[in-house]
Amino acid sequence: MNPFATATEIAAAVRDGRTSASAVIDACLTRIERLNPALNAFTAVTAERARARAAALDAGAKTGPLAGVPFAVKNLIDIAGLPTLAGSKINRDHPPAAADSPLVTRLEAAGAILVGALNMGEYAYDFTGENAHEGPSRNPHDLMRMSGGSSGGSGSAVGGGLVPLALGSDTNGSIRVPSSFCGLFGLKPTYGRLTRAGSFPFVSSLDHLGPLALSVADLALSYDAMQGYDRHDPGCADRPVDLVSGGLESGIGGLRIVSAGGYFRAGASPEALAALDGIAAALGVTETVTIPEAQRARSAAYIITTTEGAALHLDRLRTRPDDFDPDVRDRLIAGALVPAAALVQAQKFRRWFCQQMLRLFDRVDAILAPATPCVAPLIGQKTFVLDGKEMPLRPNIGIYTQPISFIGLPVVAVPVATASGLPIGVQVITAPWREDMALRIARHLEAGGAARTLQPDL
Amino acid sequence: MDDAALDAWIEAATAALGIAVKPEWRQAIRTHLAISLGHAETVLAAELSDHLDPAPVFRA
């Protein structure tokens, strides 16, 4: 089977008997063994478990929307029997997780088969995919470039055709940035939609989990399988499941789609602007809107992140500072020194900004914005030029994603090919709980060819 | 805020928090603190109602 076969295609082949789950898993594990030394996407491969599950599936009814589909998870998501590293050296000392996270359990209940844990930036505080302890996960389209972070291994593994589906987390852009750099479809659902139980936190106010995949249908299938209230995550909303797969082909007729201007164009590279404008043209979008106070929303997200993150890790900063990735440690220490008044004001501003955006969604259904200001930078690069000024890279890759996750809006990142041969992403942003609409628009773009994944020759 | 003021802040606040900062970390911490305080200034400049509730546990 083509290593870039989608989850939808694999599951159909397994259900129809054209292949077996065991054959799929064997091919997947062989490809991981061959390519992971270069991509550095995986930190653990659960081969024995995967083979056992595949054999059980083959011996049974071979049903399920994700029957026989290999998947892997960012290593902040619990896998029974493994310590949940969250990209750190310190967590290697933690006891192994006693159980799988609910999202892993739900995907496996749909027939998917876990094959391992994925590399990530330490404690999810990066946009680069770099990691001082494991080495960087690498971009499958150019191994010298960043995979994006913090779900870097997720981007690298799916982009390289090692697995068709991976889970990541997104606090400020950590699903959307690697989706952009690695040329994938990524879904950051509404804040509170998918349970975060059984995952290592970063910023509880902002943390989301979600899938990265090779197709919109794969995002929808996995998202449908993972929905459902979970009282073990206080942030999880008690809402009915809203299945989206069946409505993907409904088209975009009647949808009011606009493009974000102002803040969301300032600083964008020519590639990012061309991708945004190409997607807008493919959707027939003519209106540009200004999102009010987007810069301040980004600043508020930054403050919540750095202060909550610092508070989470304060004891570790006191007792084991030398065991941190220095790039993460120094940012967290700075975050511990920010006045508390700024955090409270940021949370108040979050309420105000959400109210303004809900008003905007009274008259529009979806907003387009760049996912990243540029294509994937080189690994090790510390600065880049943003809006004519040289700026630190690590804190600023997420300038266009941060204001959106700040108020938990659902987003599908769609991949666009650029003239450089590297991909870049565009965000399709909708009102809270309207993942269905964002996915429909993404599917329309995929079906028309405006958004597409690239298959690197590895 | 100049570098000396930032360094004084770092020294006093990390001592209060019990974080032992090595000299070679100082420059990066100062850079990140300056960025964070810039964002804090932007946030604190917002004119918001006294009655606006903070939204740390957020329901969209």
Q: Would you call B32 and A296 a contact, using CB atoms and an 8 Å cutoff?
A: no
Q: What integer pLDDT is reported at residue A349 of this predicted model?
A: 97
B58/chain A closest Cα distance in angstroms: 7
B49 within a domain of the structure (yes/no): no
A336/chain B closest Cα distance in angstroms: 8
Q: Would you call B36 and A334 a contact, using CB atoms and an 8 Å cutoff?
A: yes
Q: What integer pLDDT is reported at residue A395 of this predicted model?
A: 82
Q: Which residue of A has its CA nearest to B14?
A: A337
Find chain B residues with C-beta within 8 A of A331's C-beta.
32
pLDDT band at A1 (very low <50, low <70, confident <90, very high): confident
pLDDT at B12 over 90: yes
B48 within a domain of the structure (yes/no): no
Q: Would you call B58 and A350 a contact, using CB atoms and an 8 Å cutoff?
A: yes
pLDDT in tens, A206-228: 999 999 999 999 999 999 999 99
In chain A, what percentage of residues exceed pLDDT 90? 97
Asked if A372 contacts A272 with a C-beta cutoff of 8 angstroms, the reply is yes
pLDDT band at A394 (very low <50, low <70, confident <90, very high): confident
Which of B29, B42, B54 lies nearest to residue A344, judging by beta carbons? Answer: B54
Helices H / strands E in chain B, number of each:
2, 0
Distance CA A16, CA A10 (A): 10
- Mean of the per-residue pLDDT values of chain A: 97
Which of A234, A303, A433 lies nearest to residue B40, judging by beta carbons? Answer: A303
CATH architecture group of domain A7-448? Alpha-Beta Complex (3.90)
> Which residues of A are known catalytic residues?
74, 150, 174
Higher pLDDT: A173 or A389? It is A173
pLDDT at B13 over 70: yes
B39 within a domain of the structure (yes/no): yes
pLDDT band at B60 (very low <50, low <70, confident <90, very high): low
Query: Is the pTM higher than 0.90?
Result: yes
The pairing of beta strand A366-370 with beta strand A288-289: unpaired
pLDDT in tens, A287-343: 999 999 999 999 999 999 999 999 999 999 999 999 999 999 999 999 999 999 999
B38 within a domain of the structure (yes/no): yes
Q: Would you call A350 and B35 a contact, using CB atoms and an 8 Å cutoff?
A: no
User: Could you give the count of Cα atoms lying within 13 Å of A274 in the half-sphere of its Cβ?
Assistant: 12
Distance CA A404, CA A297 (A): 8
Which of A295, A321, A326 lies nearest to residue B42, judging by beta carbons? Answer: A295
Cis, bond preceding A150 (omega within 30 deg of 0): yes
Q: Which of A338-342, A394-398, B26-30 has the lowest mean pLDDT?
A: A394-398
Q: What Å distances lie between residue B59 and A199, A292, A366, CA to CA?
A: 20, 20, 20
B17 within a domain of the structure (yes/no): yes
The structure tokens listed for A159 are: 């982009």
pLDDT in tens, A119-154: 999 999 999 999 999 999 999 999 999 999 999 999
- Residue A363, φ and ψ in degrees, nearest 5: -115, -5
Q: Is B28 on the interface with A (CB under 8 A)?
A: yes
Give the ipTM of the model, two decimals please.
Answer: 0.94
Asked if A364 contacts A173 with a C-beta cutoff of 8 angstroms, the reply is no
Once rounded to an integer, what is the mean pLDDT over residues A410-436?
97
**Residues in Cβ contact with A182 at an 8 Å cutoff, skipping those fewer than 6 apart:** A139, A140, A141, A147, A148, A155, A156, A158, A159, A212, A376, A423
pLDDT at B58 over 60: no
pLDDT band at A387 (very low <50, low <70, confident <90, very high): confident
Range(s) of the domain holding residue B35? 3-43
Find chain B residues with C-beta within 8 A of A314's C-beta.
17, 19
pLDDT band at B57 (very low <50, low <70, confident <90, very high): low
Q: Which residue of B has its CA nearest to A340?
A: B40
Distance CA A18, CA A340 (A): 60
Determine how many CB atoms are found less than 10 A away from the CB of residue A419. Answer: 8
B53 within a domain of the structure (yes/no): no
Helix A7-16 / helix A216-226 crossing angle, nearest 10 deg: 70
pLDDT band at A444 (very low <50, low <70, confident <90, very high): very high
Q: What integer pLDDT is reported at residue A183 of this predicted model?
A: 98
Q: Would you call B43 and A345 a contact, using CB atoms and an 8 Å cutoff?
A: yes
Q: Is B23 on the interface with A (CB under 8 A)?
A: no
Find chain B residues with C-beta within 8 A of A295's C-beta.
42
pLDDT in tens, A17-54: 999 999 999 999 999 999 999 999 999 999 999 999 99
Determine how many CB atoms are found less than 10 A away from the CB of residue A367. Answer: 27
pLDDT in tens, A239-255: 999 999 999 999 999 99
